[in-house]
Amino acid sequence: MPDAALLAALRTVNDPELHRDLVSLGMIERAERVGGVADVKVNLTTPACPLKATIEADVRRAVMNVEGVEDVRVEFGSQVRMPSTPPLPGVKHVVAIGSGKGGVGKSSVAANVAAALARDGAAVGLLDADVYGPSVAHMMGASAERVTATEERKMRPIERHGLKFLSMANLMPAGQALVWRGPMLHSAVNQFLKDAAWGNLDYLIVDLPPGTGDVQLSLAQTVTISGAVIVTTPQEVALIDASRAIDMFKKASVPILGVVENMSYFVAPDTGRVYDIFGRGGAVRLGGYPILGEIPLDMEVRQDADAGTPAVLSHPESPASLALTSVARNLAGRLSVQALETLPMV
């Protein structure tokens, strides 16, 4: 049985993002005493919780005020909550990563965010929906692999770096151009989503092609998207197209989870001087949307993508990797907040 005094103390601890106490949120799995040691287990709403350290400090502080407690042992678990009707069997959240134009590093952001979430302990899938210009297979180091079928005749996603992914690059001969019209694109998106054995996933990250065309509309019509992330660079021409992408998602009733400003600045490795090559702070001018992160222009991100391993795994302490990890955790936090505020959750 939970210790009543410990639970009372934990009712004074709020989740810093959800702004409700841990007990009423159902996040306390265990609150017991063994002698003078309080043993508390907290189930976070995502393994990629950006404020885990804050929660741990607040729990320790509150519980240490309970009479007779001499020490506190805090253990963390996680349970990503999902809508009462999941978007796909076994998949809790579908997240679209989009942009209004090409060349802003959208696929690189998508691959690194997916890898960072998986490294934090989430079950993650990555769908390369850029049918005409697939790049995820190369970034995952699996360009030569081919998609196989399960016994149920479903596509079996390829597994790399702790996550599952599907890309048209693993279904077509290398270098072959795909010449399809709209209905074929819709069919491909539908098959990637519904005829694939994704299994149980906390997050399915969808790397969209640039623009506001057939694939984006097909995705929105095929599944319920938890939200979209817009990737842009700081200069005005990119922001104009990013605004169009935001408008497209709004018309499709897809919530905007936030904006990522990629190539936000460059730190010279020899002098440490910061250069705003494309300007800086442009994402703020999109107005009213959370800024999930500013990613510096970093040669290692490009090198690691070419080598087939996301930078957050190859060089986790580099400035760009730290920024990308922060984006992933902020995204997970936004989904947790949205789940509490707007969705009937189970």
Contact 325, 312 (CB under 8 A): yes
Domains located in the chain, CATH noted: 4-78 (3.30.300.130), 91-328 (3.40.50.300)
Task: For 145-194, write each residue's pLDDT tens digit.
Answer: 999 999 999 999 999 999 999 998 898 766 666 666 666 777 888 899 99
Torsion of the alpha carbons at 309, 311, 315 and 319, rounded to the nearest 10: 180
Q: What is the pLDDT of residues 109-126, one digit of tens each?
A: 999 999 999 999 999 999
State pLDDT tens for residues 289-305: 999 999 999 988 999 99
Residue 314 assigned as binding residue:
no
290: tokens are 């959370």
* Residue 199 assigned ligand-binding role: no
pTM (2 decimals)?
0.91
Mean pLDDT of 199-203: 96
| Residue 37 known to bind ligand | no
pLDDT at 103: 86
104 is in an annotated binding site: yes
- pLDDT at residue number 176: 65
Annotated binding residue at 42? no
Q: Is 133 annotated as a binding residue?
A: no
DSSP 171: T
41 labelled as ligand-binding?
Answer: no
pLDDT recorded at residue 178 = 62
Q: What is the pLDDT of residues 7-42, one digit of tens each?
A: 999 999 999 988 999 999 999 999 999 999 999 999
Query: Exposed e or buried b for every residue in 112-134, given b needs 16+ CB within 10 A?
Result: bbbbbbbbbbbbbbbbbbbbeeb
First CA to last CA distance, the chain: 24
Mean pLDDT, the chain, as a whole number? 90
pLDDT given at position 344: 45
> Is residue 217's pLDDT more than 90?
no
Give the position of tokens 């691959």.
Answer: 111
**218 is an annotated ligand-binding site residue:** no
